[in-house]
Structure 1
């Protein structure tokens, strides 16, 4: 996260001198770019918790990432080929990248000037290119970069970004860590398809999202190419380099299931991972068709990260998960990965539904009624620290109200509807309406009100946004 306004002002004051210095290094670049009315894209999309995260002026449609990782996974060199569509007449635009050094950048095949201020890269195409960056046009940017990728500490103290492990590294990105290993528009509001190629020393394996399309070994190094066809938010992208035990199987419907497990925890992980097809089939009955072209998991050692994460297609677990955690992260494939929050304020839509999925699983498989899980959540003081849809700050996005209180909101909707067939139909309709897109809390409340035909003001005002614990519904 960038520093407050005063620091931004200091960067602005330095901007002219820095840009002139960069322009002298890039042949063919000039300071006056684009036609009249051409303007730079915004540096940041004014997210309520991370205002400098993401960038304006364009939408990314595809990332082509090529990474070469050294034997310790302590250094990498990368090339990012970013295909985007301009949403305004664009004279310059920003990418998010932290720590790594930019070696070169081109836009539409011609050198672009690069100005750097912290995690913000400002790219200024030369005049011949800038004149073509009209609203609606598609353009390609290539950034070559290298260095030692960083571990990023979140506002809540947890670590993400590039996390070193015993046999390599794992890249985790929620909410800001993906900028530690590739440049991009790192806000959940800009989703794209991906091709990720990772070259590692022979004997190591690189796992990413999507499906493996090729694996080639030459001169002691192996390149793994993974493809993500469906749109994916950058915080859900991952690369895991290590000595993985990889298993391929399929669900009863033929959906590929790929698991990658550290050999030290393979035995302990096997019984729970064997239930992935069962969990997916159960989720499809409740939530509708599984939204992606493969499923699975990556299981590292305990301590590789401080949390599990719903990385798209195959969630990451630091050590063998229990069944409840597996259910939670697989539920995110519907809630959060397919229907992705419009901003980080909407995170309760991810976590509330995934927590509610745990309650539903416990009722169906462990004999614990949802009403009992609701009662425990209601009695837990931690769930009432703040409203689920209004965490006080970025450090609070993963605190209990976003999860437990969010799940209680979902159950209160179900209670008010008093018709399970209609309730689950509404949930499936919501997922269908926003499949592979983004949605906000306002979108959700409007949808539920319209489709249910009910006045749910009391649910929104007290259970979702209220400042104190309401009377139990």
Structure 2
């Protein structure tokens, strides 16, 4: 056989195998497969940036929006899903061209005119509208999501309510950056994530634009609107601060929200590593029906501030939960146990009680036969993922770890954890591995006892 013919055969075989290796276009999965929320998030693409353009009318409760998502295909896509609850879709485009779409429960399935090649960036824009309603049920124990207030709206989306107000890949494993523009009636203030880019009045409306340039999970986004007294400045360490407080709550039970926010942000920056975002702050809104606070990225959202430990808890989440987010919801103790332990560290810092004494108080408060000890903290189940054991026993685990490996290793571990997974996702196994690496000790028994075992551990 001639050299020319051999070359031709080799070229043909190479082309054949190259073609065979390319998967044909297929639909992206309708969810990321989280055991607690199987249909949350979406397969086939990686969300990169959300551009939200929102208009809200408090008198009617109507929201009109256009969300443009920039994403990267992670497979050859024939179609893909977005999570969207309740609201009516008015039109969809992909890369600027109209695209067919269908609704299937809380899924919006989009079919681009041409398949999207793996690795290619694309944009999908969805126009929609309606009156969002809050979600309820045992997960949170009260209403949550998009909640009307007397003068606007209180928006707190954990864990699965972001998709009640914008189409998204609504799972913390798919983080993105954000531009959020909000139109509200003149005289109201719209507060969102990141830094304020612009605000101006036109006609009877106020237009506000916020930009979050660091990756953010969908549930941490907010578009809270109302009458607020706003104070801005910098922490003593130089971090920009934006605090908005409903005038009805201006006394905040005697807590100086601005001062505590500034002090705690600076202190956690020393303990946990550099503050991970461009701005810190708070939103305090008159929403007693909520009965909870949320670690909204850059501006924790409070239905009321009862004491300063609430503030230090939510600010600790900026590191544990916001910058480092859970890979799956079953690892929620990595958020709540760490933020609860931060409260103990704050009391230690203030000289009021050591973290060891806080541990003993929490440990002794629960008798051995209490249901408290029957929760497996590392997998607490969906409907009990925000119950006290996840917070308290999660914090106890960290104190036991600190006492096992010593302060030097422990306070090396915390900032190392944040630095290693900054703006990303992690799970319990990742934390155990790092703790063992930093300490040089085998720790699987300790974590098994405190996170995975039912029953009250012996001291």
Checking the alignment, whether the CA contact within 8 Å between 1:92 and 1:125 is kept in structure 2 is yes
**Does the CA contact (< 8 Å) of 2:313 and 2:339 recur in 1?**
yes
Cα distance in 1 for residues equivalent to 2:149 and 2:351: 35
Match of 2:337 in 1: 352
Q: In structure 2, what is the equivalent of residue 227 of structure 1?
A: 211
2:131 to 126, 145, 148: 148
Q: Measure the CA separation in 2 of the matches of 1:331 and 1:71.
A: 32
- In structure 2, distance between residues paired with 1:109 and 1:430: 41
Match of 1:437 in 2: 424
SS of the aligned residue for 2:110 comes to strand
Match 1:387 to one of 365, 376, 381: 376
Is 2:253 the counterpart of 1:266?
Answer: no
| Secondary structure in 2 matching 1:48 | coil
CA spacing shift, 1:328–1:36, aligned 2, 3 Å: closer
**TM-score, normalising length: structure 1:** 0.89
Question: Partner of 1:274: helix, strand, or coil?
Answer: helix
Q: CA deviation at 1:370?
A: 1.1
Summarize the Cα distance change of 1:52–1:271 in structure 2 as closer, same or farther, 3 Å threshold: same
1:275 partner SS: helix
Aligned twin of 1:72: 59
Report the CA distance between 1:48 and its aligned residue: 1.5
Within 5 A, what are the aligned runs for 1:392-471? 393-418=381-406, 420-471=407-458
SS in 1 for 2:135: strand
In 1: Cα distance, 2:124 partner to 2:306 partner: 40
8 A contact 1:73–1:169 mirrored in 2? no
The equivalent residue for 1:363 is 348
| In structure 2, C-alpha distance between the alignment counterparts of 1:302 and 1:207, rounded to whole Å | 15
Q: What is residue 38 of structure 1 aligned with on the other side?
A: 25
Q: Report which of the two structures shows the higher radius of gyration computed on alpha carbons.
A: 2
SS at 1:98's partner residue? coil
| Structure 1 residue 73: Cα displacement | 6.0
How many residues of Structure 1 are paired with residues of Structure 2 in the alignment? 432
| 2:198 equivalent among 214, 230, 241 | 214
Shift of 1:155: 3.5
Residue 16 of structure 2 corresponds to which residue in structure 1? none
- Cα-Cα RMSD: 1.4
Q: Does 1:125 align with 2:105?
A: no
Change (3 A) 1:73 1:346: farther
Question: Structure 1 CA distance, aligned partners of 2:289 and 2:148?
Answer: 7
CA positional deviation for 1:349: 0.4
Q: Taking structure 2 as the reference length, what is the TM-score of the superposition? A: 0.92
- Counterpart of 1:244 (choices 225, 228, 237) is 228
Structure 1: gaps (5+ residues)? 1-34
Q: 1:258 to 1:57 in 2, by over 3 A?
A: same
Q: Hey, what does 1:308 align to over in structure 2?
A: 293
* Cα deviation, residue 321, structure 1: 3.5
**In 1, Cα distance between equivalents of 2:311 and 2:321:** 15
Q: 1:336 corresponds to which residue?
A: 321
Q: CA deviation at 1:272?
A: 3.5
Structure 2 contact 309–343 (Cα < 8 Å) conserved:
yes
Larger mean CA deviation between 110-119 and 77-86 belongs to 110-119
Uncovered stretches (5+) of structure 2, i.e. residues with no partner: 1-21
Distance 1:97 1:177 in 2: 9
Look up the SS of the partner of 1:151 in the other structure. Answer: coil
Counterpart for residue 185 of structure 1: 169
C-alpha distance in structure 1 between counterparts of 2:415 and 2:124, whole Å:
38
Q: What is the match of residue 287 of structure 1? A: 272
Residues 22-171 of structure 1: pairs in structure 2 closer than 5 A:
37-72=24-59, 74-127=61-114, 130=115, 133-156=116-139, 157-171=141-155
CA shift digits 1:283-311 (9 cap, x unpaired): 11211111111000000115151211101
Greater displacement, 152-161 / 287-296: 152-161
Q: CA deviation at 1:343?
A: 0.7
Note the C-alpha offset of 1:339.
Answer: 0.3
Give 1:266 shift.
Answer: 1.1
- In 2: Cα distance, 1:471 partner to 1:446 partner: 24
Alpha-carbon distance in 1 for matches of 2:447, 2:60: 47
